[in-house]
Structure 1
Amino acid sequence: MDRHTKIKKAIDDLSSSDAKTALKLIMIQLDSAGNNDDAKAELYNSLKELSDGLLDTEGQRPVWEPDEGASHVHIAFGESVAGSLKLAIKQLGHADSHKIVTFGDFFSIGPLWRLHEEEGRARREEWLKDRINNHFSDAEEAEAETDHRHLLEQLERIPAQAAIVVWVTNSAYEQAGLRYALHLLSFKPNNVFIFNVGAACERRFNQIDRRIDYRHSGEIPTEHLKAVFDEKEAGGSLSNQTRKQLEQEWLELAESKEGLRIWDGENIVSVDENYFDSYLLETVEKLHSYKGNDDFIKAARVIGEALGYCEQHVGDGYFEYRLRHLVYNGDLEIKGVPRAMRYYSVKRKR
């Protein structure tokens, strides 16, 4: 079979959720590369690795999954940071002994009620399908439950000698994910390290005249991950008491049915779904002032502006959901069909 045929077959064999994940990773990396030559070279390496992985027809367990030879297993939240972390580990020469488990769910939005149980996951998917455009179809929902079982299998395969490193930032998304991961790992006696990679990169790279506050790990470039990699265990492993406390905090989160969480600087706070509505209206007003008129503004433009200046990481899907709600509520006028943000425009109702 020639390479082009292999490429076509590999793509045809992808599930729709895997295809979306790969496309998202490519687009995020393209956006991050910009005009930086080093970033472009890094992008090529990352895309080559993605391509090679898709073309692997040996039927073997993926190279990044935990195995008996692993000295470290890294927990990452989201495909973006997982892809960057894989590249960093490979370039550092640790691919044989350092493995990665990726949690794909977006823990800042949607109810977390009993997410560790099948009933809770089904209710969460129903909430997301009712509110977030382009979320799972019914077929993909069945795949999501299969993915959850695969996640549990990966955690089960973590060998006893491996250190578990959970990569986080100060975001409700990853802080909630951390607590969920520790709950699922409660049967594992391994040493667990929490590495706040956002804080480490801010200490290392921020300057008086140039500061970046990372809202989630996916915003951190691979070269920065490599630079702070050796700091991952500097804080020491979690004590049994701290692990139990964080596991208990997950159980408390898993009793709430709110659809939105933010990080207040120290804690995960559940808030009403309308928390960002006034912010979105202010964003529309700001864009009207930029344009000098009250004409319709593309929904994608509003959401992009809102994402760019928001200190919380809730994603474009959630902002688009709330923008539609403001239309339905009569706060905004609409032109077009709101099947996706690129298909409609809004303006303030006067």
Structure 2
Amino acid sequence: MEKRRKERGNVMMWGEEINSAEQKQLLTLLYKELTELRNGEANEHDKLAFTDRLLLFVDSFEHAMKQQSEINQQQREKRIERMTVENMHHITFSLGHQQLLVHMLKKSSSTVHVLDDVLSIGPLNEHRTDWLFERGLSQMNRAMATFTAEIRSIAVGHSVVIWVANNAHEKLALSYTLTHLPSDLSIRIIDIPASDMEVGNLVYRSSSDLCAKDVVSHFNRSIEMDALPDSERKSLQKRWQVARNSIGCLRIWQNCTIIEVEEAFYDEKITQLATNEYSRSIRIIGEIICQSDDYLSKEWLYYRVNYLIAQGILQCAVDSTNLFNQRIKLASGVS
């Protein structure tokens, strides 16, 4: 086959110029000749001619695909170019979304800041660190200090874009961010809707649910938006102060509002999904996350599973050591 490719000489060059209509015509001819070959109706010359035409089609198709790939890349770069304004700071509250933005903006001078501490869980005052540590959830309090220092240092004249989805964590993180950003910055908020008909009626529970195409679409729609008014900023800052002074330790997003609930809020769902036979904790936790309209932390649900084990409501298999291999069932006498 490779020998035949080399012997064709300038036939390959001609093949690179084939347009889509000619490709279709050639493909029809190839199909007809292939049928003849299968039926044993072709001689040796016909077989060689078929091979030439087949290679010709493959070459032209590869060339067309390469051209289309280059066009697609140019279009992507053109769309992203609008996001690469000099001295622009993007703020997000999802690590996955931050990584996507960093990748998309790697050729620009834009900066991406992230606060992925789960603010919907735990007290928001000076007791937060100890409270999370006692429950083995210290990872939910690792980024706030660094993030706060970063956003406080944003210079006057720089523009800020804040990405926020509809969940308790990101709404609280938005209020926290506005409390600590310098007051004389131009700020735009990209409020990611719970669902979006314009991009296929997708459902977004978190900023991390966005793909690159969604990011560009939402950003372009936000360009004509006005900067955040002072009155709205003060209102959002007040929401943070209220939450910080509250004694509640678990918050959910319900009916477009942050609501405080008991720590045991998800315990009933866990026990409803557990059975009298051992099943993996990760499956139960995954089902709860999928059924929820809010963004949920698997670490928090895992903590509640272990709490229920300690209370004798659930029973854990002896060989279970972590979230991904832990197997649980309802304890004897629990139904």
The alignment's TM-score, normalised by the length of structure 2, stands at 0.68
2:114 partner letter: T
1:309 Cα deviation (Å)? Answer: 1.9
1:339 Cα deviation (Å)? Answer: 5.0
In the alignment, structure 1 segments of 5+ residues that lack a partner are 1-40, 42-68, 114-119, 289-293
Measured against aligned partners, the alpha-carbon deviations of 1:17-54 in whole angstroms (never above 9, x if no partner) come to xxxxxxxxxxxxxxxxxxxxxxxx9xxxxxxxxxxxxx
Q: Retained in 2: the 8 A contact 1:109–1:314?
A: no
Does the alignment pair 1:259 with 2:259? Answer: no
1:250 partner letter: W
User: Partners of 1:233 and 1:196 in 2: how far apart?
Assistant: 13
1:182 pairs with one of 178, 188, 194:
178
Aligned residue number for residue 279 of structure 2: 297
1:153 Cα deviation (Å)? Answer: 3.3
Q: Retained in 2: the 8 A contact 1:198–1:216?
A: no
Query: Which portions of structure 1, spanning 4 or more consecutive aligned residues, are displaced by more than 6 angstroms?
Result: none
Does the alignment pair 1:269 with 2:236? Answer: no
Aligned length: 249
Aligned residue number for residue 112 of structure 2: 100
1:316 Cα deviation (Å)? Answer: 0.5
Q: Retained in 2: the 8 A contact 1:132–1:318?
A: no
User: Partners of 2:193 and 2:102 in 1: how far apart?
Assistant: 17
Does the alignment pair 1:72 with 2:54? Answer: no
User: Partners of 2:158 and 2:240 in 1: how far apart?
Assistant: 23
Q: Retained in 2: the 8 A contact 1:165–1:232?
A: no
2:226 pairs with one of 231, 236, 240:
236
Superposition RMSD in Å: 2.5
- Which runs of structure 2 are paired with 1:202-213 in the superposition (5 Å)? 202-206=196-200, 211-213=201-203
Aligned residue number for residue 301 of structure 2: 319
1:87 pairs with one of 95, 103, 120:
103
User: Partners of 2:261 and 2:114 in 1: how far apart?
Assistant: 26
Aligned residue number for residue 62 of structure 1: none
User: Partners of 1:333 and 1:323 in 2: how far apart?
Assistant: 10
Q: Retained in 1: the 8 A contact 2:117–2:144?
A: no
1:88 Cα deviation (Å)? Answer: 2.8
Aligned residue number for residue 18 of structure 2: none
1:128 partner letter: L
Measured against aligned partners, the alpha-carbon deviations of 1:175-228 in whole angstroms (never above 9, x if no partner) come to 00000000111x3311211111245x713213xxxx432111012112221232
Does the alignment pair 1:125 with 2:150? Answer: no
Q: Retained in 2: the 8 A contact 1:88–1:225?
A: no
2:186 partner letter: N
Could you say what secondary structure the match of 1:274 adopts?
Answer: helix
User: Partners of 1:223 and 1:127 in 2: how far apart?
Assistant: 39
In the alignment, structure 2 segments of 5+ residues that lack a partner are 1-68, 70-84
User: Partners of 1:306 and 1:336 in 2: how far apart?
Assistant: 24
1:155 partner letter: I
Q: Residues 261, 183 of structure 1: CA spacing in aligned structure 2 closer, same or farther, 3 A cutoff?
A: same
2:135 partner letter: R
Aligned residue number for residue 61 of structure 1: none
Q: Residues 236, 283 of structure 1: CA spacing in aligned structure 2 closer, same or farther, 3 A cutoff?
A: farther
Aligned residue number for residue 33 of structure 1: none
Measured against aligned partners, the alpha-carbon deviations of 1:266-296 in whole angstroms (never above 9, x if no partner) come to 2111111111111112222xxx4xxxxx321
**Looking at both structures, which has the greater relative contact order when contacts are Cα pairs under 8 Å and sequence separation is at least 6?**
1
Over the matched positions of the two proteins, sequence identity in percent amounts to 22
1:149 Cα deviation (Å)? Answer: 4.4
1:259 Cα deviation (Å)? Answer: 1.7
Q: Retained in 1: the 8 A contact 2:94–2:206?
A: no
1:254 Cα deviation (Å)? Answer: 0.5
1:264 Cα deviation (Å)? Answer: 1.2
2:217 pairs with one of 227, 231, 234:
227
Q: Retained in 2: the 8 A contact 1:88–1:226?
A: no
Higher Cα Rg: structure 1 or 2?
2
User: Partners of 1:343 and 1:248 in 2: how far apart?
Assistant: 43
